[in-house]
Amino acid sequence: MNRYYNFFQENKREIIRSAIISLVITIAFSLWYFITGKSFEWHPITPISQPDLLSREVLSYIAFATIGAFLYYVVRLWQILKFICKDILNSWPLYNLVKKIVWIILLVFTQFYLVPTAVNWSNHIISFFYNIWFLILYVYPIVGILILSFFIVILFLKRSQVIAIFDNKMKQS
């Protein structure tokens, strides 16, 4: 987990810069769409496709981080199973078998219900904001022009600051 945090901290500027560039391009294409005179229509979009069968490791991570964590930390299912299988029935193989069955149920539930539901909800949310954005641009295209010009000015100022800093460092060395 720390490895990913370090990666994002090291590449924070590139990530933010690419997100801003993508947003500016989206705004430009959105404005072009409405300048051409097309009327507004609500379009459901699905930018996130349903995943194929995920690899066993990724599915295990998702299952462990969601329902598995709930069962382990809140319900204390493994302690209950250990108490029943080991302490009462005195059978480790039964405990291991029940753990495997529970884990398989978690994996199947995650793959066939949790992941598709999360993808559908994400698509609905993205589609809603996408259509609201186009509605705003359709009703008030000047808003899009102002936002686009705002981002261009910010990028220009940032670039000018970076060039000035680089020139100062070059003069000092």
Can you give the pLDDT of all 173 residues of the chain as single tens digits?
566 677 777 777 777 777 777 777 777 777 777 777 777 778 888 888 877 776 656 777 777 888 888 888 888 888 888 888 888 888 888 889 998 998 888 888 888 888 888 889 999 999 998 888 878 777 776 667 777 777 777 777 776 666 666 566 666 66
Same domain for 29 and 111, yes or no, is: no
The residue range of the domain holding 89 is 45-138
> Does 110 lie in the same domain as 145?
no
Three-state SS for the chain is: CHHHHHHHHHCHHHHHHHHHHHHHHHHHHHHHHHHCCCCCCCCCCCCCCCCCCCCHHHHHHHHHHHHHHHHHHHHCHHHHHHHHHHHHCCCHHHHHHHHHHHHHHHHHHHHHHHHHHHHHHHHHHHHHHHHHHHHHHHHCHHHHHHHHHHHHHHHHHHHHHHHHHHHHHHHHC
110 and 170 share one domain: no
Total-model pTM:
0.57
Is 78 in the same domain as 144? no
